[in-house]
Amino acid sequence: MSTENTHSGAVIGYGRTSTADQHAGLDDQIAELKAAGCTRIFSEQVSSVDAARPQLQAALQFLRDGDEFVCTKPDRLARSTTELLRIVEELTQRGVRVRLLSMNIDTNSATGKLLLTLMGAVASFEREIMLERQRAGIAKAKAEGKFKGRAPTARAKAAEVHRLVAAGCKPAEIMKLTNISRASFYRIAKA
């Protein structure tokens, strides 16, 4: 009998929805995680683009060698395939098995590891293709004289800020007129 699928640690789940309005979605994830055998579930309602996902961080810190980490879908766990692969690699190195229910991926199997590697390769390929298209588009726009480049930063508005200060305008008025932040205003004014 293979020991590949045996497990002696805790089964920990993680569920996430992007907004507090998605109660049903989170409830469905929790039900699915419980059905998968999770004895402890970390969940939160926070956008994946937000830097802080405190319950994910708590779950990752909670996991120990021999535990199993279960998530319903890859996009509930990570912002990108690169981040997903990084999380899975870190957990695998710590002896934690990872399962993604929607894709039937289990890092405890050779097939699961292969699927994750393929996902990473495809994501990397897609990123390179997108960057090539972006570079080609920028080159074409430059050739046609349409490329504007990045919008001016606050430092690019320094001359205007100094002119308004010399004219006796108040800081709040200058910030509003130049559309710069308070910190940018004082950084420019101090220089």
Q: Which residues are catalytic?
A: 18
The burial class, CB within 10 Å (0-12 / 13-18 / 19+), for 187 is middle
Q: How many CB atoms lie within 10 A of CB 181?
A: 11
Strands of 97-100's sheet in order across: 40-45, 11-17, 68-71, 97-100, 105-106
Q: How many CB atoms lie within 10 A of CB 49?
A: 7
**CA-wise closest residue to 64 among 43, 40, 34, 31:** 40
**CA-wise closest residue to 42 among 13, 85, 10, 74:** 13
